[in-house]
Structure 1
Amino acid sequence: MLNFSYHSPTKILFGKDMEFEVGKEVANYGKKILLHYGGGSIKRIGLYDRVIDSLKKEGIEYIELPGVQPNPRLKLVRKGIEICKEEDIDLILAVGGGSVVDSAKAIGIGAKYDGDVWELFEKKAVPKDTIPVGVILTLPATGSETSNSTVVTNEETKVKVSVRSEIVRPAFAILNPETTYSLPKEQTSAGVSDIMAHIFERYFTNTRNVDLTDRLCEGTLRTLIKYAPIVLKEPNNYAARAEIMWTGTIAHNGILGLGREEDWASHKIGHEISAMYDTTHGVTLSIIFPAWMKYVYKNNVERFAQFAVRVFDVEADFNNPEVVALEGIRRLEEFFRSIGLPTTFKEAGIPTDKIDEMARRCISNSGGDSVGFFVKLYEKDVLEIYKLALE
């Protein structure tokens, strides 16, 4: 196990009706906020009205900035930064899914930076301060409600990259599973894929003697595998929704990666698909992760065999660990398909004529000559993974 330092300051309010507490939480940070959200979904489910009522009871002034899209856009982030600077905003309240939260985080650090916020994403500078961000989560997926990262897409250059910094962790996050009842099945499934991917990026490591976090990762994955089919059949099943929502937070608040080297190659490979075709993030991951696994499993067959046995109940065979490992990958693909997710470009209807360009961009956008740590992947490797994912 590697040395580590861990601090997660986000206050979590979990459960039914917790959104009614938002006014009191916001009041701890000031009296003027930027209310940031996506489209009309929070209004259709009545969440918007409940939030506004709670804010008004505490005398909170709010300026609205709707319009966040999946794969949040730099243009809207810049608009939010202008508002925050002009209006002297005390806190940004993100009401929605991970894209809204990521957009709010980017606005927060951009509003405290003298230059253009994109310089932070290009790694030309590091964020030193932020406007606090509060969250009311409506889509379990990205884990952004407690994570130390934010991902934004530059729509002009089609570059999707992240900023990772402890200062972007939200001040508080309100999680009411009831707000997820109305999610379309495809969003629920894509969210499950996203959550699983956050665990995979930590689980597949070459670091030895990390059995505790191995078991935590495996238990979280098994929870998703058990409850995802239930919420798809019973969308108003509170208990099942609660399990999924909490796994989304646990998967990406950092706890599962403590003491171990993480990978993150598959996310970067998937980001190029989202940047190029605006594909849902979770969908890119259900396509890329099985292909990545097939490409790298021989680097540590025993770990992949362990994954197969402990997560998908494949029968152990110490004489043939490769067979066990491959069966685990097959069962993962089977699971993705069972909840309506594609595992290839063809199944997703994604064009395949730009995989060479995406492989080049994946490496160039990484800031180095490779991506990943489980196996260092160069441009030719990324291209081969795309090819494995074609059909």
Structure 2
Amino acid sequence: MMDFDFINPTRIVFGEGKEKEVGSLLSNYGYKKALLVYGGGSIKRSGLYDVIVESLKEAKIAFLELSGIKANPDVSFVKEGLSIVRKNPVDVILAIGGGSVIDVAKSVAVSYFYKGDPLDFNRHRLAPSRALPIAVILTIASAGSESSDSCVISSYEEDFKGGFNSPLVRPFLAIEDPVLLKTVPLRQRNAGIVDMMMHSMERFFAKSNPFQLADDWSLSLIKNVKNAAKTLLNDQNNMDALAALMLDSSLAHDGLTSLGKKPCFVVHPLEHALSGYNPHIIHGEGIAVCYLGWSRYVYKQDLAKFSRFARFVFDIKENNDEKAAIMGIEAMEAFYKELQVPCSLKELGLFSKDIPSLTNLATGNGTRVIGCYPQSLNKEDVEKIYNLCL
């Protein structure tokens, strides 16, 4: 087990109606003026916006707004937010939404103290040194950005999508009301299920020893998500299942399931090339496609881990490790299909002609490798995986 230094300062305030407390919570921290960051009109149609505004006004917290954030957010949203807060400074950023909204808030938070291109952080040209504090009201269970130290932003002009990690962008507060998940469109909810599972799967499939507690946590979390998802297939508003998804989302990406390990994410960067190439691709759907291709390419290199995953998550009753591993991959594909999630590049509108561009995006035109276990993937490997995804 590797040495580690772990802290997650995100306070999770969980339960029905907790969004009504946002004003008093922020006031108790001493904040006076917030930038509200949110997406389209859904929070207004649902009445959530009015609840938040009333709570902020009661607590005498002034606020500005950055709205219209889209999935796979372009850096232009970050620049718009910076223009707002540099003209009218705030002391806290309140993100209301899911991963895309939260990541824009994070990028604004660190770029506020930096005069250069916000994407310099995502291109790993430098690390942020300061950030405005970030609070979240979570409306979709998916990205785990509400408790993670990661931030992913795109540039539509450059077909770029990339992330960085910094403790400075980990929100100090996440308000989570599972009732809010009832308003999430089914396609978006199911794509979120795929994404949150993959956050723990990426960590589980990283190199470990037989006594790695983090692996046990990962498997339990993954199975909990799967079981909640299956319940929701028959009962879309089952509150126990929705509550499980919301909490699982936060725990899957807060670092807990990688304690003592060195996770090398591989499926996520494979997908980032897809939604960087075509921002209309839903991240979780691209994740499903890339996982199936990657797992079929590498599973033989760690049959013990792939077979353990199959037996625990899908209750595969097969003593032969290779057969169990294959059955586990097939079971995952069947699960994705139950969720009506695409399982091939063609279903995403991508074809053989697109693979050279995707490969170059994923590998920086062959200048970098992806992942580290069970193997690092070079340009040739990535191209083969994308072909398996067709």
In structure 2, distance between residues paired with 1:164 and 1:365? 23
Among 306, 313, 316, the alignment partner of 2:315 is 313
In structure 2, distance between residues paired with 1:286 and 1:122? 25
In structure 1, distance between residues paired with 2:220 and 2:110? 34
Match in the other structure for 1:371: 370
Q: Is the 8 A contact 2:119 2:153 kept in 1?
A: no
Match in the other structure for 2:339: 339
In structure 2, distance between residues paired with 1:39 and 1:365? 35
In structure 1, distance between residues paired with 2:14 and 2:275? 31
Q: What is the SS of the residue equivalent to 1:263?
A: coil
Instruction: Give aligned pairs, total.
Output: 387
In structure 1, distance between residues paired with 2:300 and 2:11? 41
In structure 2, distance between residues paired with 1:348 and 1:358? 13
Q: What is the SS of the residue equivalent to 2:86?
A: helix
In structure 2, distance between residues paired with 1:231 and 1:50? 27
Matches within 5 A, 1:1-391: 1-27=1-27, 28-278=29-279, 279-317=281-319, 320-364=320-364, 369-374=368-373, 375-390=375-390
Q: Is the 8 A contact 2:221 2:248 kept in 1?
A: yes
In structure 1, distance between residues paired with 2:277 and 2:197? 23
Superposition deviation, residue 231 in structure 1: 2.2
- Counterpart amino acid of 1:11? R
In structure 1, distance between residues paired with 2:211 and 2:336? 27
Q: Is the 8 A contact 2:19 2:51 kept in 1?
A: yes
In structure 2, distance between residues paired with 1:98 and 1:17? 21
What do residues 239-284 of structure 1 show as CA deviations (whole Å, max 9, x unaligned)?
A: 1100111111110000001111212111001001101112110000
**Large movers: runs of 4+ above 6 Å:** none
Unpaired runs of at least 5, structure 2: none
Q: What is the SS of the residue equivalent to 1:151?
A: strand
Q: What is the SS of the residue equivalent to 2:273?
A: helix
What do residues 340-359 of structure 1 show as CA deviations (whole Å, max 9, x unaligned)?
A: 11111123333442111111
- Counterpart amino acid of 1:264? F
Superposition deviation, residue 183 in structure 1: 1.1
Superposition deviation, residue 210 in structure 1: 4.1
Q: What is the SS of the residue equivalent to 2:183?
A: coil
Q: What is the SS of the residue equivalent to 1:153?
A: strand
Amino-acid identity (%): 35
In structure 2, distance between residues paired with 1:344 and 1:307? 22
- Counterpart amino acid of 1:349? G
In structure 2, distance between residues paired with 1:88 and 1:101? 19
In structure 1, distance between residues paired with 2:128 and 2:138? 24
What do residues 225-247 of structure 1 show as CA deviations (whole Å, max 9, x unaligned)?
A: 11112224323221110011111
Unpaired runs of at least 5, structure 1: none
Q: What is the SS of the residue equivalent to 1:290?
A: helix
- Counterpart amino acid of 1:302? A
**In 2 relative to 1, CA 355–29 (structure 1 residues): closer, same or farther, beyond 3 Å?**
farther
Q: What is the SS of the residue equivalent to 1:72?
A: coil
What do residues 1-32 of structure 1 show as CA deviations (whole Å, max 9, x unaligned)?
A: 11111011111100101001100122224211
Bigger CA drift: 300-309 or 211-220?
211-220
Q: CA RMSD, aligned part only?
A: 1.3
Q: What is the SS of the residue equivalent to 1:156?
A: helix
Q: What is the SS of the residue equivalent to 1:354?
A: helix
Q: Is the 8 A contact 1:182 1:235 kept in 2?
A: no
Bigger CA drift: 224-233 or 347-356?
347-356
Q: What is the SS of the residue equivalent to 1:369?
A: coil
- Counterpart amino acid of 1:9? P
What do residues 26-84 of structure 1 show as CA deviations (whole Å, max 9, x unaligned)?
A: 22242111111000111111110100000000111111110100001100101111211
What do residues 290-309 of structure 1 show as CA deviations (whole Å, max 9, x unaligned)?
A: 11001011111111111111
Q: Is the 8 A contact 2:359 2:365 kept in 1?
A: no
